[in-house]
Amino acid sequence: MISPLRAARGGVALAVFVLALEGWARLDDHLTYGAPLTGPYNAEILYTRDTLGRVGKPHARYRKWGLNEAGFRGPELEPDRLTILAFGASETFGLYEDEGQEYPRQLEHFLNARIGRDAVQVVNAAYPGESAYTADVRAPEIVDRLHARVAIVYPTPADYIWLPFLKPKPAREGAAKVAEPFEWRIADRLRTFLKGILPQRVQTRLRARETRIAESGFTVMDRLPEENVRRFRDDVAHLVQTLKARGVAPVIVTHANLFGNGGQERDRAQLVAWRKFYPMLREEGFADMERRMNDALRAVAAEERVPLIDVAASMPGGHQNFADFVHFTNRGATLMAQQLANGLYPVVENVMRGPRQ
């Protein structure tokens, strides 16, 4: 029989163990990334909100992701270069690539190599979770501030699976600041660690279970409604019109994914992983969604008479190029940047020859 005193000491020791783990995690973050020892430390510290919605904080840094003076991922901007904006979401912002390997950085490198000097800069105007709609809201401010002349539009179709997601959240004037709940940094690390050691099959089952639980809050669809595709198409078209109205040459880029051209469901586990973020659409609906959304992008390009770079058709899928369902590996980002550089070079050449605004 364990005495109450011994049990209490054991309990205290266990609590010390957990608290010390959290302390070690914070110390590690502090020493490795210069993270604050107290307070939250997650990707949200990169952003703030203003009347237009989400905006990058100048010089904010979270792990490998760092923003420049202007609040965009990448190096500081050079005033004398032709500015190309890259609109998109996490695929453009870069998640899995090493620092400096995200496709906008590589695109800048390829374009300058082709031009023969450092003539252009590609501004990564994307952030994770950005939609064509929020990009459209923010675009005039960015264009005016950076005097951009070319823009790549690489929107994420999945944002339009559930239209209520699209509502932007501008800051409310005078709203009281809500206290952040305590953040267990060790919990996030353990989750990531477990993800790394659990066999793929077990992970897929866990994700499927999570999705089943989340399904209850939605009407589950087999196929994306036509209304959503139309909304996507309208938002992209409006973004293109906004850019054109401000003298920017937009270039639309179709959306590539792990499953490659044709959207075959070769990797069920990745479809399950993808669906976890959008439980309202069944796995079978994703390939169809990508196909229809890319058709919509092609149609917008034709209607608006803007160049289209069809990476969805030309980019090979597979795990060498994609770290998950849509996010690039270093190699994938290189391929993407090469294809964009090929398609973009004539546009850039044309703009550089034209009068400077």
**Site residues (CB under 8 A) for another protein?**
9, 12-14, 16-18, 20-21, 23-25, 28, 31-32, 186, 189, 193, 196-197, 199
Q: Checking DSSP bridges between strand 61-62 and strand 65-66, what pairing results, if any?
A: antiparallel
All residues at 6 or more sequence positions from 145 whose CB lies less than 8 Å from its CB, including other chains: 70
CA–CA dist 302, 306 (Å, integer):
7
CB of 198 to another protein, least distance (A): 8
CB of 325 to another protein, least distance (A): 22
CB of 24 to another protein, least distance (A): 4
Name the DSSP letter for residue 67: B
CB of 7 to another protein, least distance (A): 12
Name the residue nearer to another protein (CB basis): 188 or 284: 188
Structure tokens at 156: 């994420």
The side-by-side arrangement of strands in the sheet containing 120-124 is 120-124, 82-88, 150-154, 249-253, 308-309
Structure tokens at 310: 């069809």
| DSSP-derived 3-state class of residue 354 | coil
Half-sphere exposure of 202 (CA within 13 A, CB side): 6
Name the residue nearer to another protein (CB basis): 18 or 37: 18
CB of 38 to another protein, least distance (A): 18
Name the residue nearer to another protein (CB basis): 195 or 223: 195
Name the residue nearer to another protein (CB basis): 14 or 302: 14
Name the residue nearer to another protein (CB basis): 1 or 31: 31
CA–CA dist 346, 342 (Å, integer):
8
